[in-house]
Amino acid sequence: MAYTFDQIFAADQSNPENIASNASVTIFEPGDATRTPIAITTPDGSPLPNPIPVNANGFASAFMHATLDRVAWYGGELSGFFTSYEGMKSVALAAQVSATSSAQDAATAAAAATKAATDAAASSGISILPDQSNPGLYFITSGGQLVEDPANPGFYLTGV
């Protein structure tokens, strides 16, 4: 997924009147002590020079990076980070969809396990019902008995 970064306004944060006119900003991977420029593109996918040129008003083009959602920058004596909020939102939404799907799969598996347990008990002459106050627990309503499986403590076998 490519990450889009907003247009750059090159100004000194401690003195916004100090604008970097006709300068440049170098984009590099966070943690790179050598500050090696990375390959970036315009939002429409065209290659963009790095360092990025800043115009007379202190603005530089918005840009994209193919894999990084956060990049480091330097220009003159200043440096910092840019974060792709659009990219982070896309990743968060994809994670939400995945989590919802996983929850649905877990609910389906739990329902299948409940049915299998009920069917197994019924085939051995035991009738069980779910305890509505305690999901996952069951009542034996007629016939048979359950005993703990010695090979799997916490699991029970029907009629021994």
- Same domain, yes or no: 116 and 49: no
Label residue 145 by pLDDT band (50, 70, 90).
low
- Same domain, yes or no: 38 and 62: yes
- Give the total number of structural domains in the chain: 2
Which stretches of 74-124 are DSSP H helices?
85-123
Which residues does 6 contact at the CB level (< 8 Å), separation at least 6?
62, 82, 85
Is the model's pLDDT at 159 over the cut of 60? no
Q: Is 77 helix (H, G, I), strand (E, B) or coil?
A: coil
Q: Please, what is the average pLDDT of the chain? A: 83
> What is the reported pLDDT for 85?
84
For the ranges 1-5, 35-39, 56-60, 103-107, the lowest mean pLDDT is seen at: 103-107
> What is the reported pLDDT for 124?
66
> What is the reported pLDDT for 160?
46
> What is the reported pLDDT for 52?
95
> What is the reported pLDDT for 148?
76
- Same domain, yes or no: 104 and 130: yes
| Residue range(s) defining the domain that contains residue 148 | 89-158
- Same domain, yes or no: 14 and 79: yes
Task: Average the pLDDT over 36-61 and give the result.
Answer: 94
Give 139's Cβ-side CA count (13 Å radius). 8
